[in-house]
Amino acid sequence: MNDMHSIFKNFVYACEKYSIPGDFKVTNGEVELFFDNLTNSSDIGFFYKNYNPEGLKIETGFTPIKIHSITDIEKGKTGYAYLPDNYLVFGDDVGGGKPIIAAFNDKGTSIYANYDVGLPFEIGSSFCEFISSLTKLIELVYGKYNIFDITDDEDIIKTEFIEDLRKSITPVIGKEKFLKFYDYFYG
């Protein structure tokens, strides 16, 4: 639990450090989650009960993503009725059509992403793993690359950025998931 708390605190800190639009509403665990009955995963429940993100919009250098609040998370599945009942859409790109999904199963919660009409692909073995990777992405995009400096003058992603992102995130999620994580955000 201590590692989980630390991961979420680092995420909140990064969002506040770079003045990312949105806010976190600390609920001290007093919120009842409609998806509690779907999961045995403590990480996503802990996050929403203690750090409920409101209006969080994260720039990636390309298309911004939003992480849904508790009140918006039920609407998050709108348009994604084809997803199984044990899938929870907790994020999306600003225009919609690129869901970030928590897939609840007997072992916990895996994180998937999707675009267009393809099958969702795994970008994290847990919600904590995804948030840790997202925090590292924020630190690079906002910190080192000033959001839109991830591309060259011809709008091609800089090799230096790709390498920095790979070095930062691969230790967290592994090479295979990094390739899919990268594909979701920049493919």
Per DSSP, the residues of 77-117 read GTT-TTS-TTEEEEEEETTSS--EEEEEETTEEEEEE--TT
Backbone angles phi, psi at 157, to 5 degrees: -60, 130
Quickly tell me which residue has 């969702």 as its tokens.
Answer: 120
Q: Where residue 21 falls among pLDDT bands split at 50, 70, 90?
A: very high
Instruction: Indicate the SS3 state at residue 16.
Output: helix
Helix and strand numbers, DSSP H then E, in the chain: 6, 8
- Report pLDDT for 49: 82
**Burial call 157-182: b when 16+ CB within 10 Å, e when fewer:** beeebeebbeebbbebbeeebbbbbb
Count of structural domains, the chain: 1
- Report pLDDT for 1: 47
Highest mean pLDDT among 70-84, 87-101, 163-177: 163-177
Mean pLDDT of the residues in the chain: 87
Please write the tens of the pLDDT for every residue from 125-174: 999 999 999 999 999 999 999 998 999 999 899 999 999 999 999 999 99
Structural contact between residues 41 and 101, judged by C-beta atoms closer than 8 angstroms? no
- Range(s) of the domain holding residue 173: 2-186
On the question of pLDDT at 111 being above 90, the answer is yes
Cα gap 106→180, rounded to integer Å: 23
Structural contact between residues 51 and 26, judged by C-beta atoms closer than 8 angstroms? yes
Please write the tens of the pLDDT for every residue from 34-53: 555 555 567 888 888 888 89
The model's pTM: 0.91
Q: Where residue 187 falls among pLDDT bands split at 50, 70, 90?
A: confident
